[in-house]
Every structure is written in structure tokens, then in C-alpha cells.
Amino acid sequence: MTPAILLVRKAKIAHDVLSYEHDPAAESYGREAVDLLQLEPTMVFKTLVADAEGVGLVCAVVPVLMMLDLKALADAVGARRVRMADPAAAERATGYVVGGISPLGQKKQLPVVIDATALAFERVYVSAGRRGLELSLAPMDLVKLSRGRTGPIARA
């Protein structure tokens, strides 16, 4: 049980938890989830932590097959510049390990921006808070529970 799963259960949000055997040699946690769970890749989102100048750490939730557009994220959070956060700082702030960072149930809830493509789906998949564990839920429930917002923050 992870804080992310506890949060969705407490909120009585419809969800599913999917698990797979994580391979420590996997090059991409998100692609590993797509492959092993046989999911539609456009519906699987990764959580990235960035350091926004003047704002602090923020979470960006983008499709696993896309890249985070740092300029778009900076615009979305009102920062002049954004860079990827130090992994140790991301782990300390969220309480999760890299590869298992969830936008939900974080130790210190960071501001969350979810790529707008998520809204095109009935359900999306995000980390459930541990490598090898995915959470499926409606995109608007993800926005609500993360206290996030959506915006065009991903690029091919």
C-alpha cells in the first residue's frame, strides 16, 4: 500500500492498481510499464520533478513517449526558467524514489501540471508510488486529487 493508493481509496475514486515485476536494468520506467502491462502508450504518463525558478519544485505529468517541454512548464507555473530537479531533492520532497514518483500522495504535495493530452482519455495510468506499480483513474480525478492543472507541457 502506498500513499497514492491510500489517497484514491480515501477519496472513494474509481481506480485500478496494476503491478508488474520491475527490472532494475530497465532503461525507461514508463516504457517498461507499457510493455509489461500491455497498455496503450499514449495513456501512460510519467511524473517528472522540475525546479522552477522563483517557484521551487513542481511535478510535470507527461505521456511516457513524449518529452517535457521545459519552456511550456515554466509558462504554466509562472517561472522564468525551469530545469530538471536533482533526483535526491525530488525523492526527499515527494517521499518516493525516482521511477516510482507519483503525482498523488506526496510527502510535501508539489504543484502539479498534467499535460492536456490526458483529458482525451477516459482513464490514464500514472505511478502508484513504487516501481512496478501503476494506478489507473479518470484524468479529472487525477487533476482533482493532485490539486493540479492541465496545460500543453509535452512535446514529441
pLDDT digits (tens, 9 = 90+) for 8-17: 999 999 999 9
pLDDT digits (tens, 9 = 90+) for 121-131: 999 999 999 99
Class of domain 3-149: alpha beta
- Look at the chain and count its residues: 156
Distances (CA, A) of 91 to 37, 47, 51, 62, 74: 25, 12, 13, 18, 21
For the segment 49-58, the average pLDDT, to the nearest whole number, is: 97
Enter the pTM of the model: 0.95
Confidence band of 27 (pLDDT split at 50, 70, 90)? confident
